[in-house]
């Protein structure tokens, strides 16, 4: 079966390697152009494998469509795509295209599915391989797999430890199902769909008025990107590597309870947080001792004041 692969980064590169190991014919690869002189990982993998590589400025560009048509592919595979792929491109392969998405659709449609699942305190997530249509993550389901979200796992841990490796294998397995013929096409129940905006700087502000567990989940969900944002002495500060301590705070939310090499103990509504890594514009991302040396936080001072 002739495959046209659209993707980027390590995820796309690993999917390419998996498809070739499976014996699929990858007719061509589409990935982003070089940035600052550095090639995308998928481009490097394609060149190394002798697969034709195309790097259009955008997948909506005419040359992307023209190259896709020339490939005469049986199936398109979208493996970690952040660009908009227009219908004429994903419908060009004979069987259409399939796409990896890191949630159990129809819940958590959109670009930041893992972030919001962690922020909302979900104990379970997973991935879906679906048939691409013109909606946002609305196509029929081909394959799904669930994973547990641990109570202290960050978005980064859920992705890199679980949804990345399982998703690569799941994408390759989904292609094998299509190659066998008569693959599943299960319509989503759109009445159960949820959609959240990108988890970026616009939504990264930490709300100290919320219960401690929700504040903790928000920090986990914004780790490693975009980082849960608060302020200290008028300066923007981001939190990472937090721990939840189930002990009643002895101060108002955001107030520093203890300063040590382990980090800062900070009060929240109904619990206490230990923050062990920080980011500021001046310092960059640093461990607690470096933040303490530079900013000299004292017991009784407050974040978010």
Summarize pLDDT for 107-127 with one digit per residue, the tens.
999 999 999 999 999 999 999
Percentage, residues of the chain above pLDDT 90: 97
Structure tokens at 172: 């390759």
Structure tokens at 6: 């659209």
Structure tokens at 17: 């390697």
Structure tokens at 38: 């550095």
Give residue for tokens 């939190």. 239
Check residue 254 and give left, alpha or beta (phi > 0: left; psi -120 to 50: alpha).
Answer: left
Percentage, residues of the chain above pLDDT 70: 100
Structure tokens at 190: 């759109």
- Starting from the edge strand earliest in sequence, which strands make up the sheet with 53-54, in order? 53-54, 25-30, 2-7, 75-79, 97-101, 124-131, 141-148
Point out the domain boundary residue: 192, 216, 232: 192
Q: Does a structural domain hold residue 15?
A: yes
Instruction: Say whether both 245 and 179 belong to one domain.
Output: no
Instruction: Say whether both 126 and 42 belong to one domain.
Output: yes
Interval 55-84 mean pLDDT: 97
Instruction: Say whether both 97 and 185 belong to one domain.
Output: yes
Instruction: Say whether both 94 and 218 belong to one domain.
Output: no
Instruction: Say whether both 151 and 224 belong to one domain.
Output: no
Give pTM, 2 decimals. Answer: 0.96
Q: Does a structural domain hold residue 300?
A: no
Instruction: Say whether both 95 and 161 belong to one domain.
Output: yes
Summarize pLDDT for 220-272 with one digit per residue, the tens.
999 999 999 999 999 999 999 999 998 888 899 999 999 999 999 999 999 99
Per-residue pLDDT at 250 = 85
Query: What's the domain count of the chain?
Result: 2
6 three-state secondary structure = strand
Domain that holds residue 260: 201-295
Residue 13 to residue 16: CA distance in whole angstroms: 5
The number of helices, as runs of H, and strands, as runs of E, in the chain is 9, 13
Nearest in space to 68 (alpha carbons), one of 105, 93, 101, 104: 93
- Which element (helix H / strand E) includes 295? helix 288-295
Q: Does a structural domain hold residue 305?
A: no
Answer whether 11's CB lies under 8 Å from 168's CB: yes
Point out the domain boundary residue: 175, 192, 209: 192
* 305 confidence band (pLDDT: 50, 70, 90): confident
* CA dist 242 → 28, 115, 152 (Å): 43, 15, 9
> Which residues, 6+ apart, have CB-to-CB distance to 263 below 8 Å?
241, 274, 275, 276, 277, 288
Instruction: Say whether both 125 and 32 belong to one domain.
Output: yes
Residue 98 sits in a domain whose CATH number is: 3.40.50.170
305 three-state secondary structure = coil
Structure tokens at 96: 């259409």
Summarize pLDDT for 181-192 with one digit per residue, the tens.
999 999 999 999
Instruction: Say whether both 124 and 20 belong to one domain.
Output: yes
Instruction: Say whether both 181 and 205 belong to one domain.
Output: no
Per-residue pLDDT at 249 = 87
How many angstroms separate the first and last alpha carbons of the chain?
Answer: 60
Answer whether 106's CB lies under 8 Å from 188's CB: yes
Q: Does residue 19 register a pLDDT over 90?
A: yes
Per-residue pLDDT at 38 = 95
């Amino acid at each position: 079966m002739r495959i046209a692969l659209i993707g980027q980064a390590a995820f796309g590169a690993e999917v390419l390697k998996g498809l070739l190991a499976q014996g699929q014919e990858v007719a061509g690869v589409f990935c982003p152009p070089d940035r600052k002189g550095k090639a995308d990982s998928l481009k490097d993998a394609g060149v190394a494998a002798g697969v034709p590589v195309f790097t259009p400025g955008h997948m909506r560009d005419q040359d992307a469509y023209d190259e896709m048509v020339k490939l005469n592919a049986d199936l398109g595979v979208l493996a970690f795509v952040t660009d908009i792929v227009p219908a004429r491109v994903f419908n060009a392969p004979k069987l259409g295209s399939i796409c990896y998405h890191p949630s159990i659709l129809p819940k958590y449609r959109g670009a930041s599915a893992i972030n919001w699942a962690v922020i909302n305190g979900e104990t379970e997530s997973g991935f879906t391989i679906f048939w691409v249509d013109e909606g946002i993550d609305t196509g029929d389901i081909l394959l799904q797999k669930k994973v547990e979200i641990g109570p202290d796992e960050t978005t980064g841990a859920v992705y890199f430890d679980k949804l990345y490796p399982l998703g690569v294998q799941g994408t390759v397995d989904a292609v094998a199902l299509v190659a066998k013929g008569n693959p599943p096409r299960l319509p989503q129940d759109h009445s159960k769909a949820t959609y959240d905006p990108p988890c970026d700087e616009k939504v990264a502000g930490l709300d100290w008025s919320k219960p401690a567990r929700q504040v903790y989940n928000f920090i986990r969900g914004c780790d490693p990107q975009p980082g849960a944002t608060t302020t200290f002495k008028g300066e923007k500060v981001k939190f990472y590597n937090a721990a939840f301590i189930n002990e009643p705070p002895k101060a108002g939310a955001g107030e520093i309870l203890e300063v040590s090499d382990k980090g800062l103990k900070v009060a929240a509504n109904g619990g206490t947080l230990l923050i062990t890594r920080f980011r500021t514009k001046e310092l960059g991302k640093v461990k607690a001792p470096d933040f303490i040396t530079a900013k000299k936080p004292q017991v009784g001072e407050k974040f978010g004041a």
